[in-house]
Amino acid sequence: MAGRLKKTVVLVGMMGAGKTAVGRALATRLDVPFKDSDAELVTAANMTIAEIFDRDGEEFFRQKETQVIERLMNDAPCVLSTGGGAFLKSENRDIISAKGVSIWLNADLDLLWQRVRHKDTRPLLRTADPYATLSDLYDQRVPIYEKADLAVPADPEFEIDDMAQAIEIVL
Ligand code: S3P
């Protein structure tokens, strides 16, 4: 499959949708590298995402995120998982659509909450009412995620590899 993949497959969607896990499984199936924009930022800065937000602010993080996505989209085709906010920026969507195919992992709010509620790694959810924050983000973002080239449901009963297979089939 490695030679068959003509475009980078970019996974988009809310935090907790499973972009990293599904992305890894898909990359294995396609026999291409797996990349993750958040992981690239963490490695480059030698800081966690939360530390970058705390020290430099979200705007700085978003600038770096765009630079990383632009760089990765210029690499050979791969599977790229993006942070949940990346697809919201039209500049990022343009970069992604120029060389890639975007896939929205569409998980419902309850599943997302179950996945993120016990983790302290998402700076945007460090609010007095993280469920309400997640719910607001969900409502604001879904109409933008709907602009992705393809949408794949991320139901709790689906195994990671089954989702990867569902994506592989439609590529
Ligand atoms: C964010 C999601 C995170 C990370 C940052 C901001 C967002 O990535 O990029 O905390 O705006 O939704 P994940 O979607 O991988 O959690």
Q: In whole angstroms, give the CA distance from residue 40 to residue 57.
A: 18
Q: In the predicted model, is pLDDT for residue 86 greater than 90?
A: yes
Across the chain, mean pLDDT equals 95
Contacts of 145 (CB under 8 A, 6+ apart): 12, 13, 14, 87, 104, 106, 151
**Residue 163 falls inside a structural domain:** no
**Residue 170 falls inside a structural domain:** no
Average pLDDT value for residue range 20-41? 97
**Residue 109 falls inside a structural domain:** yes
Q: In whole angstroms, give the CA distance from residue 27 to residue 123.
A: 28
Tokens of 34: 């797996």
Length of the chain equals 171
Confidence of residue 48 (pLDDT cuts 50, 70, 90): very high
Confidence of residue 91 (pLDDT cuts 50, 70, 90): very high
**Residue 3 falls inside a structural domain:** no
**Residue 162 falls inside a structural domain:** no
What does the pLDDT look like over 56-85, one tens digit per residue? 999 999 999 999 999 999 999 999 999 999
CATH number at residue 97: 3.40.50.300
Specify the pTM.
Answer: 0.96
pLDDT at residue number 157: 86
Q: Is 123 in the pocket of ligand 1 (CB under 6 A)?
A: yes
The number of folded domains in the chain is 1
- Ligand 1 centroid to residue 79 C-alpha, Å: 17
**Residue 146 falls inside a structural domain:** yes
AA identity, residue 148: A
pLDDT at residue number 121: 86
Residue with tokens 């942070």: 83
Tokens of 116: 């993120």
**Residue 1 falls inside a structural domain:** no
pLDDT at residue number 119: 82
Q: Is 38 in the pocket of ligand 1 (CB under 6 A)?
A: yes
Beta carbons within 10 angstroms of residue 128's beta carbon: 6
Q: In whole angstroms, give the CA distance from residue 3 to residue 26.
A: 15
What does the pLDDT look like over 100-131, one tens digit per residue? 999 999 999 999 999 999 888 899 999 999 99
pLDDT at residue number 40: 98
Burial of 142 (0-12, 13-18, 19+ CB in 10 A): middle
- Ligand 1 centroid to residue 85 C-alpha, Å: 6
pLDDT above 90: percentage of residues in the chain: 92
Q: Is 49 in the pocket of ligand 1 (CB under 6 A)?
A: yes
Contacts of 71 (CB under 8 A, 6+ apart): none
Q: Is 21 in the pocket of ligand 1 (CB under 6 A)?
A: no
Confidence of residue 3 (pLDDT cuts 50, 70, 90): low
Q: Which domain holds residue 21?
A: 8-155
- Ligand 1 centroid to residue 12 C-alpha, Å: 10
What does the pLDDT look like over 132-145, one tens digit per residue? 999 999 999 999 99
**Known binding-site residue numbers for substrate:** 38, 62, 84, 141
Angle at the Cα of 32 from the Cα atoms of 111 and 146, rounded to 5 degrees:
40
Average pLDDT value for residue range 39-43? 98
User: Strand, coil or helix: what is 49?
Assistant: helix
